[in-house]
Amino acid sequence: MKVILNINKYNPHSGVILNWEENYKIEIKEEHGEIVISANKEGLLSLANHFANLAQDGIPVGSHIHLDQYNSLEEGSCDVILQKI
């Protein structure tokens, strides 16, 4: 399987622009001291896009993406921050 991700070029004025696959589902939970990330195909591709987005040259260290049940994750999910170091 070959996957092509559309990564928006970083612009310091607009910040990181995320691309979400249609019909994505992502759930992040803490179970017995472990973090479990569950996602359908569209959710996994969306997460791959977000990680590739943060990996771009020019994106400053400390740049981050907040994900939570109110804007991107399934109900009951833990809040998560993806951050470049």
Instruction: Assess if residue 18 is contained within a domain.
Output: no
User: What backbone phi and psi angles, to 5 degrees, belong to 21?
Assistant: -75, 140
Rounded distance, CA 9 to CA 3, Å?
Answer: 18
CB within 8 Å of 52: residues ≥ 6 apart: 5, 7
Residue 39: CA atoms inside 13 Å, Cβ hemisphere, count?
Answer: 18
Instruction: Assess if residue 57 is contained within a domain.
Output: yes
Above 90 in pLDDT, residue 39? yes
Tell me which residue has tokens 């996957």. Answer: 3
78 against 14, higher pLDDT: 78
Could you say which DSSP state residue 70 is in? T
pTM to 2 decimals? Answer: 0.89
Tell me what the mean pLDDT of segment 28-55 comes to. Answer: 96
Instruction: Assess if residue 49 is contained within a domain.
Output: yes
Instruction: Assess if residue 4 is contained within a domain.
Output: no
Instruction: Assess if residue 51 is contained within a domain.
Output: yes
Query: What confidence tier does 29 reach under pLDDT thresholds 50, 70, 90?
Result: very high
Instruction: Assess if residue 71 is contained within a domain.
Output: yes
What is the domain count for the chain?
Answer: 1
Above 90 in pLDDT, residue 44? yes
Tell me what the mean pLDDT of segment 73-81 comes to. Answer: 96
Q: Could you list the residue range(s) of the whole structural domain that residue 41 is in?
A: 26-83
